[in-house]
Amino acid sequence: MAGASDTPLVLLHRPPSLDFMDEILSRNFRILNTDTSSEPLPIFLSRHASSARAFVVVGRFFVTAEILSYLPSLQLLVCGSVGFDHVDLAECKRRGVVVTNARNAFSDDVADCAVGLLISVLRRIPAGDRFIRSGDWEKYGEFRLGSKVSGKRVGILGFGSIGSFVAKRLEGFDCVISYNSRSEKPSVPYRYYSDILSLAANNDVLVLCCSLTEQTHHIVNREVMESLGKDGVIINVGRGKLIDEKEMVKCLVDGVIGGAGLDVFENEPAVPEELFGLENVVLSPHSGVATQGSLDNVAEITLANLKAFFSNRPLLSPVQLD
∠ CA 311-315-318 to the nearest 5 degrees?
A: 150
Q: Does 86 bind other proteins (CB under 8 A)?
A: no
Q: Does 189 bind other proteins (CB under 8 A)?
A: no
d(CA 307, CA 313): 8
- What is the contact mask toward other proteins in residues 107 to 136, using x (rule: CB under 8 A)? -xx-xxx-xxx-xx-xxxxx-xxxxxx---
Interaction residues for other proteins, span 288-307 (CB under 8 A): 290-295
Q: Does 244 bind other proteins (CB under 8 A)?
A: no
Helix H or strand E encompassing 261: strand 259-262
Q: Does 150 bind other proteins (CB under 8 A)?
A: yes
d(CA 280, CA 308): 47
Nearest approach, Cβ of residue 129 and other proteins (Å): 5
266: annotated active-site residue:
no
239: annotated active-site residue:
yes
Is the omega angle on the peptide bond into residue 16 within 30 degrees of 0, that is, cis? no
Question: In residues, how long is the chain?
Answer: 322
Q: Yes or no: say if 127 and 279 are a contact pair by the CB < 8 Å rule.
A: yes
Q: Which of the following is catalytic: 184, 268, 274, 313? A: 268
Q: How far is CA 146 from each of CA 177, 232, 237, rounded to the nearest angstrom?
A: 21, 13, 22
d(CA 188, CA 311): 36
- CA-nearest of 266, 214, 269, 211 to 238 is 211
Q: Which of 90, 137, 182, 195 binds other proteins (CB under 8 A)?
A: 137
Q: Does 80 bind other proteins (CB under 8 A)?
A: no
Number of residues forming the site for other proteins (CB under 8 A): 58
Nearest approach, Cβ of residue 240 and other proteins (Å): 13
Q: Which is nearer to other proteins, 129 or 223 (CB)?
A: 129
> Which residues of the shown chain bind other proteins in the complex (CB under 8 A)?
17, 108-109, 111-113, 115-117, 119-120, 122-126, 128-133, 137-138, 141-143, 145-151, 168-174, 268-271, 276, 282-287, 290-295
Positions annotated as catalytic residues are: 239, 268, 286
